[in-house]
Amino acid sequence: MNDVFVCPDCGGALSDWTCVRCGRAFSAPDGIPDLRPRGEARSEHVREFYEAAPFPGYPERDSLEWLRLRAGRSEFARMLDRAIPAEATIADVGCGTGQTSIFLARGERRIVAADLTRASLRLGAAAARRFGVDRAQFVQMDIHRPALRRGAFDVVYSSGVLHHTPDPAFAFARVAELVRPGGWIVLGLYNAFARIPLRARRAVARLSRFRWMPFDPVLRDRAGDPARREAWLRDQYRHPEEHRHTLGEVQRWFSSHGIDYVRSYPSALLATESDDLFEPAGDAWAPEQWLAQLGWMSALGHEGGLFVTVGRREPGAPASSPAGAQA
């Protein structure tokens, strides 16, 4: 899988985690390469935040069967697994503790599970070893200067990450570069409408100095698992960086970077859609999209308001770099 990695400083190819162009050697403690660029500190406060409490974490008694059963209860996870080809090369950018990477690591798929936080990566890599999963390579890198070759991936998955960066549009541009022509990008972000219920709960929590977090089903379900409860509490209520987005905003990002909008999850259409995540949705009337997003307050608000947008890079469209990116 080393053919997909490059030096984050100069873009040169890596051989045994050493850049063949500039000569920089990258360490790989615990078998997890540290491919962070020199001098990149835009997300340092976020890295430090997750080092204290990796998210989402694993329960005390887990197994590959537990993970697959848990993921299988999610309609979206089932749709994603069905849609991705059996021999796809996948980048999970901002993988956290790697649960999605491990879930997708079946068949002949190759997966790069990348995150900025080493504590999260250690949990994910340890779980992969425990479960006997060897199709996922865990690596430490920064989303602003990813150590991954442009256009190298059939599917780029990035969920719950960009809205925790200082400039989500810039971070998206870097992630979008990784998709090959004809490949897919699956992007999960906080929705500006669906996030309203949690923001209201957070306001009450802050007023009570976090002694009372009303009507949060995730905290209630994790009452018997203090570590995972604390991880959710920190991620949703105390995060130092958070942005919220509309579907129209993400569609404009796609258009600016040669990516065709395919569909959203949940659907932005009032009519029933196919359950094929990579099948294009019908044309949506703008008011219809706004009404759908208002409905997401009920559908998604209980778990934080995360929605997913799927896009496909136009065949033959080259990956482009934002201003100031590495050559």
Give the predicted TM-score (pTM) of the model: 0.89
Residue ranges in the chain modelled with pLDDT below 70: 41, 52-53, 55, 317-327
User: Distance between CA 78 and CA 243 in Å, rounded?
Assistant: 27
CA distance 240 to 211: 19
Three-point CA angle 89, 235, 208, nearest 5°: 165
pLDDT at site 26 = 97
**Domain count across the chain:** 1
Q: What is the CATH number of the domain that holds 163?
A: 3.40.50.150
**Rounded to whole angstroms, how far apart are CA atoms 77 and 101?**
11
Rounded Cα distance, 192 and 210, in Å: 23
For residue 217, say if its preceding peptide bond is cis, omega within 30 degrees of 0: no
Is 6 contained in some domain?
no
Residue 57 lies in a domain: yes
177 assigned to some structural domain: yes
- The domain of 233 spans 29-313
Q: How high is the pLDDT of residue 293? A: 93
Task: Look at the block and give the residue holding tokens 């690591």.
Answer: 105
Contacts of 186 (CB under 8 A, 6+ apart): 80, 155, 156, 157, 158, 159, 277, 308, 309, 310
pLDDT for the residue numbered 27: 97
In a domain, 318, yes or no: no
Q: Report yes or no on 72 lying in a domain.
A: yes
Q: Is residue 301 part of a domain?
A: yes
First to last CA, the chain: 22
55 within 8 A of 159, measured Cβ to Cβ: no
Residue 180, in any domain of the structure: yes
Residue 18 lies in a domain: no
